Structure 1
């Protein structure tokens, strides 16, 4: 597998403690979008965008143009795109990202913790996109049985979550919202 990290210092520090020089893992020190734009088409079974600059997803990784690059790299047969996003009710950012993924992938859903989806707290949501059908029943069972149970949102519920949202393009892209103090602290 390939990993992409823009922070050379972080890569060096992690490399001191983990065997990233193993042939199974190749770490590229590059901007995620720049690397994707040069990646081989139809070459990834799974592409995970878990990119934060500080506590926010950078704007240039939230647009239709970025997702088109990601979609070209994700295999047409069985490939998955996953993006870790953070937001809170009324879900303006998450809604815009759902509208954005809808422009690029034929099949998509969101996985998130129920309390976050009810608007009780700021939290993470995983946005999935695929060129082919998703196994939503299986995914819902796995998410519900997890140590930190989550819900799979699709269909009409997903449309309600993104109601009124428009796709994001490079010209209008903004970073994800700043989390409130203590949003991700444990204890």
Structure 2
């Protein structure tokens, strides 16, 4: 689950619902009943809120304890409302020719936004999601149901535990979007963790991760070094203000054993509504600034967001 995602509307993380209002039940064309108005429910990780979008009739933002997680548009599952999700979407678009089905392992599920995106843009894809918060998954499945026929299996388990059980060379793409509270947990941000992800990848497969950092960017620099200890090809995508330490926010990392399509990724990022920059090669080495890889023995979680970051 991501925490620092911002919607495409400038200056706001999301349009947050007030209070714990019950939802108005409606029935969709498939005969399924789900929420129409704001809804708040306690889940394992805190208070989950589903807030209807002001601009898109069937779109919802998910918040946990006030922190924006993701946005889902039931009418258009290929729409990615948060900038970090769009950047992960660019990687999904580029990992294989358009329309080709993928086998994807999502570590962290949230509202299943990226699993929906893969299913919508790459029909017949097979996907597994590791989401430790089973109560959240039940809420999302009930109120924001997946379309019938999508091959998306959600496991209620720790992300690393699922990764450890994933067979070798089994998936085309591993997406790590793992947050505990507002922080990336230490055990999902180490060389050992990334090595497990690399083992799970089929030849030509990619690893992608969403992390959050700010100020001195010590965690982000260590994570770049961590990926570089496992993958010969790496890149980073983020808002220039985040890269300068001027704003706390999301950074997207990618790693592979084969060359990444940096030029194509740069064009996609440049065409996005949110300002972004791709770091690769020498510029990424300079960004790392001598940081050492995080290991199970030395690594720690990402930093707490500063007060007021979600307001």
TM-score range, shorter chain: over 0.9
The 5 Å alignment of 1:6-85 reads: 6-20=132-146, 22=148, 23-77=150-204, 79-85=205-211
**DSSP-derived class of the 1:184 partner:** coil
Distance 2:164 2:253 in 1: 20
Given candidates 99, 111, 134, the residue that maps to 2:237 is: 111
- Structure 1 or 2: more strand by fraction: 2
Other-structure match for 2:253: 127
Kindly state the Cα deviation for residue 18 of structure 1 after the two structures are TM-superposed.
2.9
Q: Unaligned regions of 5+ residues in structure 1, if any?
A: none
TM-score, normalising length from structure 1?
A: 0.94
Residues matched between the structures, number: 184
SS of the residue 2:220 aligns to: helix
- Shift in Å at residue 95 of structure 1? 0.7
User: Which has the larger Rg?
Assistant: 2
Deviation >6 Å, runs of 4+: none
SS in 2 for 1:42: coil
Aligned to 1:163: 289
SS at match of 1:177: coil
- State the partner residue of 1:97: 223
CA drift of 1:182 comes to 2.1
Once residues 179 and 107 of structure 1 are traced to their aligned partners in structure 2, the CA distance between those partners, rounded to angstroms, is 29
What is the CA distance between 1:115 and its match in structure 2?
A: 1.3
Higher helix share: 1
SS of the equivalent of 1:110 reads: strand
* Contact 1:20–1:26 under 8 Å retained in 2: no
Alpha-carbon offset, residue 154 of structure 1: 0.8
RCO higher in structure (CA 8 A, sep ≥6): 1
Structure 2, unpaired ranges of 5+: 1-126
Tell me if the contact between 1:91 and 1:161 (Cα under 8 Å) persists in the aligned partners.
no
Deviations, residues 24-53 of structure 1 (Å, cap 9, x unaligned): 110011100000010011121111101100
Distance in structure 1 (CA, Å) of the matches to 2:291 and 2:280:
16
Aligned to 1:184: 310
Cα distance in structure 1, aligned partners of 2:146 and 2:236: 31
**CA displacement at 1:20 relative to structure 2:** 4.3
SS of structure 1 residue aligned to 2:208: strand
In structure 1, the residue matched to 2:11 is none
Using the alignment, how far apart are the partners of 1:113 and 1:93 within structure 2? 16
TM-score (norm 2): 0.57
What's 2:272 paired with? 146
